[in-house]
Amino acid sequence: MLILLLAFNFLSTVLIFISLEPGQRLCLRDAFIKSSIIYGILIVVLTEALSFNHSLETSSVASFWSLLLALNTALVGLKFKRRSLQPLKLQNLNWRLSDCDNLISIFTVFSVLGLTLATALIAAPNNWDAMTYHLPRVMHWLQNQTVAYYPTNNIRQISLPPGTGYLVAQLQILARSDRFASCVQWLAFLGIIGGNSLIAEKLTQPAAKWLTMLVCASLPMAIMQATTPQTDLTLTYWLVCLVYFIFRTKDYKAHDYFWISASLGLSVLAKPTAFVFGFSLMVILLVRNLAYKNLKYPTTLKKVIIQFGLTALSFILISVASLGLSLPSYWRNYLLFDSWMGPEFGTRNEVLGVPQIPSNILKYLAINLPIPGFWQLIAFIHQSVLQVDVNDPRFNYSPTPLAEDVSQLPLALLKVLAPHEDYVGNPIHLLLIILGWIILIFGWKSLSRGTKSLDLLMLSIANLVSFLSFCLLLKWQIWGNRLLLPLFVLNVPLIAYCLHRIAPLKLRRAFLVLLAFMAILYALTPMRHPLLALPNRSDEQSASILTLSRSEAYFSGARKELQAPYRAAIALIQQHQCRSVGLALGGDDWEYPLWVLMDEQSSSSFQMKSVGVKNESRLAPPEFPDEQLCAVLSTIPTYQPQNLGAQNLAWQEQVISETPFVKVFVSNVEKQNSLS
């Protein structure tokens, strides 16, 4: 399997990084982080370079990774020959198997990682956003052999940052399937657990390592995301890398600035919210840099001012350099949309003022805390104190549960606890974060006694500033827990500090057992692709993936009703032996299953593209000429193919399904050719 080329390359690079820092106790996790950053950059550069001359295909990609593997193998052999690469010693991981807390943590972390990996490999992707734009854009890239923009009815396919998509595309090219599409986020989950333990060791103490891993591995939203092809865990991982390199040292060298800049750049390429979360973290870098150099080298006021200027300049240079990876994507956005960031999707707050900050804070608390009467209290505060409508569209992207019948509020509480990848809350972790802040506020004097505690305080303040900025700049969304996942993860060191230093032993152990039980339960029961299906009345509850074929699993979650009409539509297209298909879909319709079904039922190559495009992307170069079209699948009742296909081509219309609406327009290509 060609996918092994990438796996062996990564492992060999990890070994090379380990050899560069012999004897370092943390080198394995450190090497994993550095290797992932290197390969993140390599994949972005390779994808953009091959796209330049439409060479994003199997032979070119496989050739690159084969050459790199040969180079890495030679370097590893050289390291072994020079004895600079020694076998890893298990005692370097400081496993204390006699410690009950560590045993609970180790068992839980490996169980959750194993269960989520099994789910990611067994279950076919069926996440809503993955079906509408994450995976369809990968298929268009592979079809076109370039990431150049193309006309599409779902403009998110081309305008949103493509970083995670590049990683998925490389896996799909090498594996020739979507079997590993969800493994990108699973690897990010693995890296988050290891990276956060490094951060906790820097900010608290080494003994908190396994506790930190357990707290991180038990985050419900992280567990849910680890088995999907979305981008939230990927963004979170790059931010964890950024925090690690910020706190890894005080005396920053050139290579430290490289890792910091690369981590920030990869996060920006993963998701736009990286700007919100990354800014306050970069301020920490600026403060730490200034504080260290001015304390270590006390000098005159003039030299202090000069040092401040140099530090500010390095801060600006790092920020600018981090945008380098995103420049091709930004440039394509600018050419097509006349905006570097692409079109606005209505997620930004329309007014910037005081009311929306407390409003959004309360509503984000509500989607994490299943407290009866909490939503009614929020409505009262909005009406009597804030004097704004709780559902004001100026700072609500989606309606709150209060916009519906009050009798539906119990369902909103259940969403917080249900194992749903878009809505699940993190109630226990949120309460622990709040407890951590109470300890920070009332124990700030003791914090000033140690540098580690001050670093923990700085990170906690940065996370708080990021949250307030998020509430100020972006509208509230019912799936906001997914967007706030980086802040929950970056607050894990604070949780570990509270549990390890403050909580009594029995109370801490009770929390560990509770987190362990919850983590394993969530890892077994993700609603749309569970290993163990729960008795749930939700329309999105799937049967166990162990009882489903992979083909069925694409439709086993949110859109079960699409399976029959989509299969019938593709079967009709195949009957007419059509290989060039147009897709007239709505802006949020499921496209990816159509690619899967065409591939399953087609014995030869095929091509698909959007038709009837009305948005700005209609100005992009077409993926192939309209004259090649011989069928159009539409989910829009009013759509009619006009000026499509060969000249004077007669389209035959057949409605496949009224609910959901699916119809197909076909032409008899063979008959047309014989007549001509």
pLDDT at 453: 77
Q: Is the Cβ–Cβ distance between 62 and 291 less than 8 Å?
A: no
CA 87 centroid distance within chain: 34
- Domains of the chain, residue spans: 1-87, 560-675
Cis peptide bond N-terminal to 125, omega within 30? no
pLDDT at 369: 92
In this structure, the strands spanning 631-634 and 662-666 are antiparallel
Q: Is the pLDDT of residue 396 over 70?
A: yes
Of 98-112, 219-233, 538-552, the range with the lowest mean pLDDT is 98-112
* pLDDT tens digits, 283-306: 999 888 887 766 555 566 666 677
* pLDDT tens digits, 36-79: 999 999 999 999 999 999 999 999 999 999 999 999 999 888 87
pLDDT at 92: 46
Q: What phi and psi values does residue 565 have, to the nearest 5 degrees?
A: -65, -35
pTM: 0.93
Distance CA 415, CA 369 (A): 10
Q: Pull the structure tokens for residue 375.
A: 């939503």
Q: Average pLDDT, stretch 635-653?
A: 81
pLDDT at 85: 54
Query: What residues pair up with 584 in beta bridges, in sequence order?
Result: 634
Q: Average pLDDT, stretch 518-540?
A: 92
Query: What residues pair up with 582 in beta bridges, in sequence order?
Result: 609, 632
CA 225 centroid distance within chain: 8
Q: Average pLDDT, stretch 404-424?
A: 81
pLDDT at 470: 95
From residue 532, alpha-carbon distances to 108, 118, 207 in Å are: 17, 12, 34
* pLDDT tens digits, 464-473: 999 999 999 9
Question: How crowded is residue 427: how many other Cβ atoms within 10 Å of its Cβ?
Answer: 18
Across the chain, what does the average pLDDT equal?
A: 88
* pLDDT tens digits, 418-440: 999 999 999 999 999 998 888 88
Q: Is the pLDDT of residue 207 over 80?
A: no
Nearest residue to 9 (alpha-carbon basis) of 87, 58, 67, 55: 67
Q: Where are the beta strands (DSSP E) in 219-308?
A: none
Rg, the chain, Cα only: 26
Q: Average pLDDT, stretch 146-164?
A: 96
* pLDDT tens digits, 606-630: 999 999 999 999 999 999 999 899 9
pLDDT at 166: 97
Q: Is the pLDDT of residue 87 over 60?
A: no
Cα angle vertex 121, ends 119, 126, to 5°?
A: 70
Listed in sequence order, the DSSP H helices in 382-500 are: 409-417, 427-442, 444-447, 451-473, 480-483, 485-490, 492-497
